[in-house]
Amino acid sequence: MCEEWEECYEAPADEGADNNEGDMEMDEEMETESDPAIFNLIWGASNTLMVVAAGFIHMKYTTYAEDLSTANIGTNATWTNDVIKESDPIAAWFTQAKIMGGLYFSGWLLWALNLGLDNAGGPIHMVFLRASEVLALAPLITLYLTFASNGDYTTCDDAETNSTFVDSAATISSCTDGTDAKYGDSGSLVVKVNDDPKGMVVVLTSVFAVLNLAVAGLTFAPLM
């Protein structure tokens, strides 16, 4: 029996407080796990990286085409800068750089506008949200273009079987696996073909695309 009325009807003093503290801790954990600001910044950084990658591809092949033209036009007038740039697979790399630049820069621009407007849920925010969902496929497009461009190459031995290869920058500038004696910096047949940066470009672009795909997954996973 209770000796005093208060002893029978006294509510636990800390039970409500303990529940509130538990709820607050749970809310804080949820906010930490799915903080949209963190994902937003990571998404912007990964797209910035891809814009840089597109610029890198364009820069490397611009330099390569200029070097090929300068090294070979003295002995063969067909080796102009324009012809080399318009010949596959070099032309394919320029196309890829433009597509990547357009895709990722448009996403980056919307991201920057949304960030500048404090991610406030207005029209720009909704456009950015939908665009970012579509751009989640951009890394797959990038990987496809990378391996398609890399697959455009023919071997230099095959190119040599073409009777007009000496007169055609469009044929010989696309060959690979040539010996340094024929295609190196002092090649007896064509100079500097072996300086093609495709190995570096394929590795760099593929790694960046996979990272971007992972970021897209991390970004949208909390929304599913």
Q: What is the pTM of this model?
A: 0.74
Give the relative orientation of helices 123-134 and 90-116 as an angle to the nearest 10 degrees.
Answer: 150
pLDDT class of 29 with cuts at 50, 70, 90:
very low
Q: How many CB atoms lie within 10 A of CB 181?
A: 10
Report the alpha-carbon distance of residue 214 to residue 81 in Å, rounded: 38
Query: For residues 139 and 118, what is the distance between their CA atoms, to the nearest angstrom?
Result: 27
Coil vs helix vs strand at 116: helix
Integer Rg of the chain from CA: 29
CA–CA gap between residue 216 and residue 74 (Å, rounded):
49
Q: What is the mean pLDDT of the chain?
A: 76
Q: Is the pLDDT of residue 15 over 70?
A: no
pLDDT value at residue 59: 96
Per-residue pLDDT tens over the stretch 47-92? 888 999 999 999 999 999 999 888 888 877 778 888 889 888 899 9
